[in-house]
Amino acid sequence: MCAKCWNILGVLVSDSPMPPQDPSPTRSPIALPDLLHATPVRTIDWERTDLALVMAFAGGTSGGLFSDALATASVAPSTWEPASFADDLFVKSFVTKCFQIRVATGEPVQQSNYLRRLLSHPPSEPDTVFYRRAIIAELNEHPELRRQLESLYQTLCRFRALLEGTNIGSNWDSNRRQLDLLRLFRELVEPLSEAFGACSSGLRRLANFGGAVQAGEPFESLCDLLQYDEQLATLSFEVGLGADGRIRRLQVRSIKETQDNPFVSSPWRRWLTKLELFARGYRFSDGEVMARLLDAVFEGVREPMLCLVQLLGDVEFYLGALSFCDRARKAKLDVCLPELVDASQARTLTALFNPLLLGGDITPIPANVQTDRMDTTVLITGPNSGGKTRLLQALGLAQMLAQCGLYVPAQSAKMALVPGLVVSLIQETTLNQSEGRLGTELVRIRALFEDFPPGAMVILDELCSGTNPSEGEEIFELVIRMLTLLRPQAFVTTHFLGFAARLQDEGKIEDLRFLQVLLDENEKATYQFGLGVASTSLAAYAAARLGVTGEQLLALIEDKVAKGPSRR
Partner 1 sequence: MSLLTNSRMHPDLVERIEASLGVTAARGSGIPRPTKVAMIRAVAIVVIVSCGVSLVSERNRRIGELEKDRGFLLKSLDLESSVLSGGDLKTVERAQGWLARDSSDYAGDWIRPDLGKGTAWAEMIAVPAIYVRGPIADFQEPKRFELAVRESQKDPFLLCLLEPPKFERESSVYRSVYTAYRGGKALEEPTRNVRRLRDALAAIYYLDGSWRERVVEAERSDQLAQLQQAFDSAGLLRARAALTARYLIYAIDEAKDPGTRTELDGGNPHWVRFGIVGLKSGEPLVRLRRHVDPSWVSESRAPEFSRGLNSCLLASQIRKEVLPADPSPSPPGDVATGTEL
CB of 15 vs partner 1, minimal distance in Å:
6
Burial pattern 69-106, b for ≥16 Cβ within 10 A else e, equals: bbeebebbebebbbebbbebbbbbebbebbbbbeeeee
Give 27 or 560: the residue with its C-beta nearer to partner 1: 27
| DSSP line for 198-239 | T-SSTTHHHHHHHHHHHHSHHHHHHHHHHHHHH-SEEEEEEE
Give 261 or 465: the residue with its C-beta nearer to partner 1: 261
Give 239 or 279: the residue with its C-beta nearer to partner 1: 279
CB of 211 vs partner 1, minimal distance in Å:
18
CB of 305 vs partner 1, minimal distance in Å:
15
For the chain, the straight-line distance linking the first and the last C-alpha, in angstroms and rounded, comes to 74
| DSSP line for 492-525 | EE-S-HHHHHHHHHH--STTEEEEEEEE-TTS-E
What sign for the dihedral angle of Cα 76, 81, 87, 89?
negative
CB of 282 vs partner 1, minimal distance in Å:
6
Give the C-alpha distances (Å, rounded to integers) separating 95 from 110, 137, 157, 310.
10, 20, 19, 19
**Cβ count within 10 A of residue 514:** 19
Give 83 or 272: the residue with its C-beta nearer to partner 1: 272
The residues binding partner 1 (CB under 8 A) are 2-4, 6-7, 9-11, 13-16, 18, 24, 26-27, 217-218, 220-221, 260, 262-263, 265, 269, 272-273, 276-282, 289, 292-293, 295-297, 299-300
Q: What is the largest CA-CA distance in the chain?
A: 108
CB of 272 vs partner 1, minimal distance in Å:
5
Quick check: 568 and 411 in contact, CB under 8 A?
A: no
Give 41 or 277: the residue with its C-beta nearer to partner 1: 277
CB of 264 vs partner 1, minimal distance in Å:
9
C-alpha–C-alpha distance, residues 321 and 98, integer Å: 8
H or E element: which one contains 187?
helix 174-189
CB of 45 vs partner 1, minimal distance in Å:
22
CB of 210 vs partner 1, minimal distance in Å:
20
C-alpha–C-alpha distance, residues 476 and 461, integer Å: 12
Give the C-alpha distances (Å, rounded to integers) separating 171 from 56, 61, 176, 217, 232.
17, 16, 11, 33, 25
Give 280 or 563: the residue with its C-beta nearer to partner 1: 280
H or E element: which one contains 474?
helix 469-484
Give 300 or 320: the residue with its C-beta nearer to partner 1: 300
**β-pair type (377-381, 512-519):** parallel
CB of 296 vs partner 1, minimal distance in Å:
4
Give 160 or 177: the residue with its C-beta nearer to partner 1: 177
**Sheet of strand 421-424, all strands in order from the earlier edge strand to the far edge:** 421-424, 457-460, 489-493, 377-381, 512-519, 525-531
CB of 11 vs partner 1, minimal distance in Å:
6
DSSP secondary structure code for residue 387 in this structure:
S
Give 51 or 293: the residue with its C-beta nearer to partner 1: 293
What sign for the dihedral angle of Cα 248, 253, 258, 264?
positive
CB of 336 vs partner 1, minimal distance in Å:
49
C-alpha–C-alpha distance, residues 518 and 513, integer Å: 16
Give 290 or 418: the residue with its C-beta nearer to partner 1: 290
Give 6 or 449: the residue with its C-beta nearer to partner 1: 6
Give 157 or 291: the residue with its C-beta nearer to partner 1: 291
CB of 64 vs partner 1, minimal distance in Å:
24
CB of 35 vs partner 1, minimal distance in Å:
29
DSSP secondary structure code for residue 83 in this structure:
G
Give 207 or 291: the residue with its C-beta nearer to partner 1: 291
Beta pairing partners, 362: none
Nearest CA-CA partner of 381 in 494, 294, 268:
494
Nearest CA-CA partner of 77 in 37, 46, 45, 42:
37
Quick check: 98 and 11 in contact, CB under 8 A?
A: no
C-alpha–C-alpha distance, residues 134 and 115, integer Å: 19
